[in-house]
Chains A and B, each alone.
Chain A
């Protein structure tokens, strides 16, 4: 099946601590996307990774895609309460020639002041 496994399912960290969220696929991905979602709201696009070994950073968030394009990590440095939310990885899988975005189950992040 075309699934994305995210870990951990939930994470509680102290403000100021670093953290990493992982996203793994059994198949090579065409593209890997990271989104953040506040409860009951829309998804906020964070980053897109397309090339094996690619790494992108925005403010205190860094995302990497491994060389095989099957695993990605999202790293937050010096976490803040504003980082709290649900982080979703999404990926393009080929379905009958199309590659609509499918999502992992999400990681719920809480940051304690």
Chain B
């Protein structure tokens, strides 16, 4: 099983709404990631969780709040978003967290959540 499951697949929300994106993997991976992808652009890293702890926050605005309740789940809580936050949000996981002293391990991606902020 090399599946990363993201829900929902599509989400439309108003600027005053609070919503959450969910990501789940059962591969025993200890690193999980959130990426944001705008149309015709490559994915951009937002957050990295290593062993359920936030290890990297790429200067993401506080209206995006990640949470890792356990080693299989990763959430992204959304509040007071702007229309420019509309994008494809991708979750990924890898067996081990990224380290400077080794070559890393491949990351597996979910199908993404297409978010539209109106």
Interface of A with B (CB < 8 Å)? 30-31, 33, 35, 40-45, 48, 50, 88, 90, 92, 94-95, 97-106
Q: B114 at interface (Cβ–Cβ under 8 A)?
A: yes
Q: Are A99 and B104 in contact (CB under 8 A)?
A: yes
Q: A30-B103, A98-B48, A100-B48 are in contact. Are A42 and B90 (CB under 8 A)?
A: yes
Q: Are B98 and A41 in contact (CB under 8 A)?
A: no
Q: Which residue of B lies closest to A30 (CB)?
A: B103
Stretch from B39-47, B67-75, B77-85 at the A interface = B39-47
Partner of B97, one of A88, A98, A102: A98
The interface on chain B, measured as residues whose beta carbon lies within 8 A of the other chain's beta carbons, has a size of 31
Contacts of A44 in B (CB 8 A): 109
- Known contacts A43-B43, A44-B109, A94-B100; 6 additional CB pairs below 8 A are A42-B6, A43-B90, A45-B109, A98-B56, A99-B104, A101-B33
Q: Are A103 and B100 in contact (CB under 8 A)?
A: no
Q: Are B111 and A42 in contact (CB under 8 A)?
A: yes
A69 CB → nearest B CB, Å: 9
Q: A40-B114, A42-B112, A43-B43 are in contact. Are A99 and B107 (CB under 8 A)?
A: no
Contacts of A95 in B (CB 8 A): 56
Q: A104-B42, A105-B42, A106-B42 are in contact. Are A98 and B100 (CB under 8 A)?
A: yes
Contacts of A90 in B (CB 8 A): 107
Contacts of B51 in A (CB 8 A): none
Q: A40-B112, A42-B112, A43-B43 are in contact. Are A97 and B106 (CB under 8 A)?
A: no
Return 23 A-B CB contacts under 8 Å, by A number. A30-B104, A33-B106, A40-B88, A42-B6, A42-B109, A43-B90, A43-B92, A45-B2, A45-B107, A88-B42, A90-B107, A92-B103, A92-B104, A97-B99, A98-B50, A98-B98, A99-B98, A100-B48, A101-B45, A101-B98, A101-B104, A101-B107, A102-B45
